[in-house]
Each structure stands twice: as structure tokens, then as C-alpha cells.
Copies of this chain bind each other. A is one copy, B any other.
């Protein structure tokens, strides 16, 4: 079954909010065997909305609409669908009672136009709204279906999970199972060329790559009968991909690079201190995102000035003078110093030129050094990054997490 998600709301077309409803619904429907082929957004305009509903019904089996169920004059979704399908709008008494009860319970005054929310296209299956006043509905017609859900995500999501997923699951024979193989350290075209034969041969599961800043994701999707275990379809392909890409894969279970690295630190009981210059707290802050990180994250130093590097980390003035604050030598001394000051298992450092100023011909903007020291073993990465200040800092932080992750894997393994 193919679906289209049609959002109704001028606030989307004005860019005041992003269409996160479409993202949410799209991420869920494959689990019910539904392919999403289109997202559309139209404003609160009756002519364009009618046109969009007609179009969606022509090209899709299921049309899932969000928004336009509210009490005001510009909420037109149900009326427009009724018109397109040639149905009357009829009052649902039970629903009216529930809306009146909601207003009583929350101590608010119900205005006359709230009654509009109790009218539906004739023959609708009505969907209770557990977290707001606007009910949703399902209208079946000629082997197709239109589902209308409220716009606020806090109302849409519970209604979707409670009614829409079970509705589709009860009808579908096949479902999709996706595994996201997340990769750091090699680019998208390199990943493709390393897997070209698998990509060319894909039938079930299917493979698709996409890149975002610093990361490549490979989606592996199996199509199975509803009661079939996807493991035998997915596992051989995932195993083959893992064998080829090795430690460049950091997760296959949805976790971010930061989460994977933090989980390894916690699991292995490796305490860490961080010294940051150009990333200026970004690595510490991302560690701080992880609940439970305090078990291993002792402290961090944002040593923006040279004095801070000397005073808090014990970097030698001579090193700073001879090699500069952005150098392999300084990075190593920062990592050692952070580790020593905090008394942790490892110290990690980043120093670089994030721009837009500060570059020189020898060390242009984007030159970044990072180091890790555990007292015995030391490693250093030299990067030459491209992009604006935000991108250089983000890629620096990601590389630092990757450096820590690979260190932990090589020293402690993954088990």
C-alpha cells in the first residue's frame, strides 16, 4: 500500500515550523508495510486544498492528512475531504458530548465554533483525541482511505499510535524492517564503491546511502510478511557490509557517534578529561548530553587563551612558542595535562583554527590537531577541514569522538 502525507497549514508555508509530523509518520509507516511516496504541504486555502486532496487520491492508496481540524474558520480539512468524496458532513453526538466534557474538565469556556469539531464526513471512523479537543477520523472510499489527524504533534502522535498504526497493521500482509548502518571516517562515494556489487544486486533487502556532515548512513531495508522474522534476510547482508567496512561502522542500532563513544567509556569504566581550544566546550557539552556520563566524565578545560593552556594543563611556554598553539606538540601536551590534572584514565584534546580569522599560509583555517593520552599510549590526528566555523568545529568534535571510540575498541574490544 502506498501513502501520501498531506499537511495543511499556512504556518508551514511561512516557515514558522518544520513539518516534523511528516517525518514522524514516515518513520513509522514502513513498520506497517506502507511505502510513503509523497509528502505535500498546502495552506489553509479551500481551492488549493481541494486540488491537493484530489491529486493525492489519484496517486496514492492512503492519504494521511495532518492539520486543519481546529475550531476556527480556516480549519477546512474535513469539509474539503467531504466535498471531494461527495459526502455530507454529519454531527456525531457522542463526540460533541466528549468535547463539552473536555471543556468542563479543563475549566475553559467552550465557544460555539468548537461544535464544528464534532462534524465528520458521513461514514467516518472517529478517532478520539486524548490530549486535545479535535478528534481525527478515517474515511474509506473505493479501496482507498483518507485519514485526518490534528496538527499539533502532541495530539497527532498519540492518535497515530493508538489508531492509525493498528488500522494499517490489520490490513497489511507485508512490512518493512530497516537497519541504519552509520559510518564515520570514509565518504559517501567511497562507501558506495566499496559496496557497489551489493548495491547493484539489491532486491531484498534494498540498500541506500546518504551523507550528512561528517557521517554516512547506509539504510538496509528488508520486506517481509507480517509474521516473518526479518533476521535471515537482513543478517547476511549486514554481516557482509560489516566485514568490508569494519570499524568505520560505529552503530547499527540508531545510536549517534557521541552516544556510542560515551556508552563504551561507561561500559569499560574508562574515566576521561577533555581539553578543548577551538571546539571550546562542544565535546564536553555532547558528553554532558548523555544521562549517566558523570560516572566517567570527570571534568573539562576550555583553554581558549595560551595562559589557560599553561596554567590549567601545564603546556610548556616553549612548546607554544616553538610550535604554536595549533600543533601536534601542543595537542599532545594538552591531552597529557588534562589527564594529569583530573587523574583520569585518558585525556583528550583538540586545538585548531576554526576561522574565519587566524589562518596563515602554513596553517590555514581548518587546520586542527587532536590527541589522546592514557599515560602509556598516545595518538594524534591532524585534520585539514573545509567549511565555515560551525562546520569545522562540528567536524572537529566528531573526529575527537571517533578517535576516542577507535582507541577504546582497539584497547578493550567491543564486548
Contact = CB atoms under 8 A, between A and B. Distances in A.
A152 interface: yes
Number of copies: 2
B15 A27 contact: yes
A244 interface: no
B15 A18 contact: no
A42 interface: yes
Interface stretch (A90-98, A278-286, A405-413): A278-286
Contacts of A190: 109, 111
Interface string A10-27: 111111111110111111
Interface in A272-322: 274, 276, 278-285, 287-289, 291-294, 297-305, 307-308, 311-312
Nearest to A26: B15
B291 A298 contact: no
A305 B300 contact: no
A411 to B, nearest CB: 23
Contacts of A301: 299-302, 312
B285 A213 contact: no
Interface string A377-398: 0000000111111110100000
Contact of A312 (B12, B276, B312, B393): B312
A84 interface: no
A162 interface: no
A367 B404 CA distance: 32
Contacts of A288: 278-282, 302, 304, 354, 393
B72 A188 contact: yes
Contacts of A102: 386
Contacts of A113: 189, 192
A16 B210 contact: yes
A294 B341 CA distance: 24
16 contacts: A11-B210, A12-B23, A16-B27, A18-B22, A19-B22, A39-B41, A74-B208, A108-B187, A131-B391, A152-B212, A280-B284, A280-B285, A280-B297, A281-B284, A284-B302, A299-B305
A252 interface: no
A91 to B, nearest CB: 19
A40 interface: yes
A10 B302 contact: no
Interface stretch (A30-38, A232-240, A327-335): A30-38
A28 B271 CA distance: 46
A192 to B, nearest CB: 6
A46 interface: no
Interface string A134-166: 000000000000000000101000100000000
Interface in A87-140: 102, 105-109, 111, 113-114, 131
A24 B15 contact: yes
Contacts of A9: 210
B391 A154 contact: yes
A294 B304 contact: yes
Given A113-B189, A281-B302, A299-B308, A26 B14 contact: yes
A77 interface: no
Given A294-B305, A300-B304, A387-B154, A14 B36 contact: yes
A293 B281 CA distance: 14
A283 B393 CA distance: 15
A349 to B, nearest CB: 13
Contacts of A208: 10-11, 44, 74
A111 B189 contact: yes
A219 B14 contact: yes
Given A39-B40, A213-B154, A391-B131, A299 B278 contact: no
Contacts of A22: 12, 15, 18-19, 41
Given A279-B288, A280-B288, 15 more contacts: A18-B20, A19-B23, A37-B42, A37-B48, A38-B41, A111-B189, A131-B386, A154-B390, A158-B388, A280-B285, A281-B282, A289-B389, A299-B307, A299-B312, A301-B302
